[in-house]
Structure 1
Amino acid sequence: MTRYENLPTISGSASSQQLFTDAQTWSAYGAQWNSGEQKNLLCCDVHNETHDVKTFSFRCGDFSALSFEPGQFITVSPVISGQTLSRCYTLSSSPTRPFSFSITVKRVPGGIVSNWLHDNLRAGDSLKASGPAGSFTPVGHPAQKLLYLSAGSGVTPLMSMTRAGFDLAARLDIVFVHSTRTPADIVFHDELTRMQALMPGLRVLNVCEGRGAEADWAGPVGRLDLQLLSESVPDFREREVFTCGPQGYMDAIKAVLAKGAFDFQHYHQESFDIATLNEEPLIEQPPTAEQMETLFSITLSRSGKTFSMPADQTVLWAAKKAGAIVPSSCSQGVCGTCKTALLQGTVEMNHNGGIRQREIDKGLRLLCCSRPTSDLVLDL
């Protein structure tokens, strides 16, 4: 019971073992962790998936339930060398198991946060994270026949979707095609194999670029092309397609589907490049003298801070440069961490799915992808 030894006790519970048998625990600790909230997480387990991929399982410090849709992500914020760094990671677990959830992280060359997680995070450690976000989810796109296409770390949101379908005993027809380098790099291989044996509507196909050390690999070798797709999934045109992976992979998949006369009204892909997103946020260059000719005044209503900025810079960059503390992560309009109420003024915002229309209608904006078109007052 070591990994749970720090759990609180309730109503006279004498030990952590009783936490799981005390009915009052679940009612007292059943609050939800919703989008936009920051929580303190406890790492419960670290599991090696492959030689460079690990799954980190967590629970909320207050035992809240995580409310999310399969395919969404959380933003973790570890303190590394005295500095808080935030990165987005897709939840690989199923929302049907809300009290314990996981992210699956690939070690990235030069990736500060991914490498720190691999090298330092252990069961029993704590970590701050912001609540779930993202629009890459099958919720709102009901379909009986599904085709999941993934490569590399892009397997994680599709694994969450598959686990959810499995847990709910959903009567779905799912074909899950995952592309990877070698058989040794297949993430969730054993679990997907077991799920396939137990879930009548699930079929899994792994496509490897090479055999690596497994000379007896019997699966497809090479890259997914129209011929292989047509042979393996002859009814792919009848399916709702969800794809996630490096940008080059997703571009190639779109080309294959277009060649196969697929109707893209039934196509959905993650809107960011995972490898790029989990590196350092993009750094804007200081404004030029020409840009400085048109300045807007920005007022932060809570702190009273006021500063000026040019129209060609993002509000987030200018606010941080002025010393304002603004939660942020991806800097690409994806994660939603910098979502802030715009009290006065107007901005031009070009986001990548990190904010929903109903939030925009309420006056919220993503500062990382918003540029001023007038003087502004922000709820900061």
Structure 2
Amino acid sequence: MAVLVKAFGDKPWRDDEPLECAMVVPETTDTATFTFRAPSGAYFDYQPGQFVTLDLPLSGGNLQRTYTISSSPSRPLSISVTVKAQPGSMGGRWMIDHLRPGMRLRAYGPAGIFSFIRHEAPKYLFISAGSGITPLMSMTTWAWDSGEMPDIVFVHAARSPSEIIFRQRLEQMADRVPGLQLRFTVEDGDPFRNWHGYRGRLSQIMLGLMAPDYLEREVFCCGPEPFMQAVRDMLVALGYDMERYHQESFGAPVRSEAEAPEIDDIVPDEALEASISFARSGVTSPCMQTDTVLAVAKSSGLNIPSGCTFGLCGTCKIRKTAGDVHMVHNGGISDEDIAAGFILACCSHPIGSVTVEV
């Protein structure tokens, strides 16, 4: 019987040696996992959640692209990246269309600070969208292989069930250990297949149902910037300690703590004054940034119809004509309405002077 397992060397891979593509595994439509090995047999040593930069030989000249490692260092014979060809993507499109086993690429790294082993905690909350699932898959595989699976609630958002990358592998792990709890939400279903999970964009209410003890968990988030912004807004509104929040960007993975960009989100401050002008009523009311438009209207003797009071029903939708508000809703208003200047009074906080049509 032939021996199929090739022993690996006693030295870790260094980026002065090319990587050789060993296997290409389709994951979803326009998404594939590319597995590389070192021609010398060197093993791979890195932290789960880190990234590698690939030098891709496109016809118009070499193109360097950074991809999160989706494999785990607990499996050191190879290293994998999972790539989705986004609209307009040059690197991802080339890899899916042209990269095949046997081809060699220059690579640099691994690098990055987005790893849960840097932040030990008894409970974790992983939150991802689209191909942002890759570093969290690496961390989850590491936890599984360690034999000591910590308490992880893994939240992932996708357009449809068929676009949930690594779904079967994650479910296989979750079926066998109590520590891993999967929470998927999709915007659309798949034809002829019933979906029993969550549906719709991730919201405060949904997050509270998925992980009721979210305040006790260390949060790791990865996805498109608008998604991560929405997650940060939710957590701030829910009173989460943002010192325990960690994120990795699609566009610019961070190599060191010194390179980490400062997150400068708008957060209503209870010590800062604001004011709301109710244009139709001719009333201007001073308030604080932490007051909602609905609460200020009521205290001023004005009536804005309302229902749920947490941004779900949409009853309190009004038009804002001037100024800025910080609004964290739960699905009660559409992107089109927001673009047209509408807000939900129950979950909108004035930042400075604001005018509304009330």
Shared fold, TM over 0.5? yes
- CA 1:86–1:165 in structure 2 vs 1: closer, same or farther (change >3 Å)? same
The answer to whether the 8 A contact 2:129-2:227 is kept is yes
Matched-pair identity in %: 41
> Does 2:85 match 1:107?
yes
Question: What CA distance in whole angstroms lies between the structure 1 residues aligned with 2:104 and 2:21?
Answer: 6
How far, CA to CA, are the matches of 2:78 and 2:253 in structure 1?
28
2:208 matches 1:223: no
The answer for the alignment partner of 1:32 in structure 2 is 12
SS at match of 1:203: strand
Shift of 1:60: 1.0
Letter of the 2:259 counterpart: H
| Pairwise CA distance, 1:200 | 2.1
Shift of 1:158: 0.2
Pairing 1:11-30 to 2, within 5 Å after superposition:
18=3, 20=5, 25-26=7-8, 29-30=9-10
Contact 2:162-2:190 at 8 Å conserved across structures: yes
Quote the Cα distance in structure 2 between the aligned partners of 1:20 and 1:171. 27
Residues 106-158 of structure 1 deviation map (CA, whole Å, 9 limit, x = unaligned) = 01122111100000011122111112011111122101101000001100000
State the partner residue of 2:298: none
Q: Is 1:269 the counterpart of 2:247 in the alignment? A: yes
How far off is 1:215 after superposition?
Answer: 5.0
Decide which structure has the larger Cα Rg and report it.
2
Out of 48, 59, 63, the residue aligned to residue 85 of structure 1 is 63
Q: Give the match for residue 174 of structure 1.
A: 152
Name the SS for the 1:198 alignment partner. coil
Whether the 8 Å contact between 2:113 and 2:255 is mirrored in structure 1 is no
Contact 2:51 2:253 in 1 (8 A): no
Q: Does structure 1 residue 134 correspond to structure 2 residue 121?
A: no
Give the Cα separation in 2 of the matches to 1:333 and 1:155: 14
Which one of 178, 182, 187 corresponds to residue 165 of structure 2? 187
Find the aligned partners of 2:70 and 2:192 in 1 and give their Cα distance: 27
Query: Aligned to 2:215, what secondary structure does the other structure show?
Result: helix
What is residue 28 of structure 2 aligned with on the other side? 50
Letter paired with 2:158:
T
Quote how far apart the aligned CAs of 1:333 are: 8.0
Does residue 60 (structure 1) correspond to residue 45 (structure 2)? The answer is: no
Could you tell me whether the CA contact under 8 Å between 2:28 and 2:165 is conserved in 1?
A: yes
Shift of 1:260: 1.0
Deviates more, 1:210-219 or 1:54-63: 210-219
- The amino acid of 1:218's aligned partner reads H
Paired residue total:
261
TM-score (norm 1): 0.65
The counterpart of 1:352, out of the listed 254, 260, 265, is 260
Structure 2: state its 5+ residue gaps.
Answer: 262-358
Aligned equivalents of 2:3, 2:196: Cα separation in 1 = 48
- Paired position in structure 2 for 1:260: 238
Q: What SS does the aligned partner of 1:253 have?
A: helix
8 Å CA contact 2:55–2:62 kept in 1: the answer is yes
Per the alignment, residue 319 of structure 1 pairs with none
Residue by residue over 1:282-326, the C-alpha shift from the partner in whole angstroms, topping out at 9 and shown as x without a partner, is: xxxxxxxxxxxxxxxxxxxxxxxxxxxxxxxxxxxxxxxxxxxxx
Other structure's SS at 1:256 match: helix
* Residue 48 of structure 2 corresponds to residue 70 of structure 1: yes
Change (3 A) 1:226 1:207: same
Q: Once the 2 structures are TM-superposed, how far is the Cα of residue 82 of structure 1 from its aligned partner?
A: 5.6
**8 A contact 1:38–1:131 mirrored in 2:** no
The code of the aligned residue for 2:197 comes to: G
CA–CA separation in structure 2 for the residues paired with 1:210 and 1:97: 35
Distance 1:131 1:60 in 2: 14
DSSP 3-state at the match of 1:153: helix
Q: 1:18 to 1:231 in 2, by over 3 A?
A: closer
In the alignment, structure 1 residue 238 sits paired with structure 2 residue 216: yes
Are the aligned partners of 2:149 and 2:180 in contact in 1 as well (CA < 8 Å)?
no
Q: Measure, in 2, the Cα distance between the counterparts of 1:153 and 1:231.
A: 24
* Distance in structure 2 (CA, Å) of the matches to 1:160 and 1:108: 21
Aligned partner of residue 76 in structure 1, secondary structure: strand
Post-superposition CA distance 1:209-241 (Å, at most 9, x none): 121425511111001111111112100100000
Structure 1 equivalent of residue 287 of structure 2: none
Decide whether aligned partners of structure 1 residues 138 and 213 sit closer, same or farther in structure 2, where only a CA change above 3 A counts. same
Unaligned runs of 5+ in 1: 1-14, 278-331, 337-349, 354-380
Deviation at 1:171, TM superposition (A): 3.6
| 2:131 pairs with one of 153, 157, 181 | 153
Q: Which amino acid aligns with 1:31?
A: K
What is the aligned partner in structure 2 of residue 119 from structure 1?
97
Alpha-carbon distance in structure 1 between the residues aligned to 2:139 and 2:181: 14
Give the secondary-structure state (helix, strand or coil) at the position aligned to 1:39.
coil
SS of the residue corresponding to residue 176 of structure 1 reads strand
Aligned-partner Cα distance in 2 for 1:226–1:94: 31
Aligned partners of 1:254, 1:39: CA distance in 2, in Å? 39
Q: 2:182 aligns with which of 204, 208, 214?
A: 204
2-structure distance, mates of 1:133, 1:59: 18
Q: CA deviation at 1:165?
A: 0.4
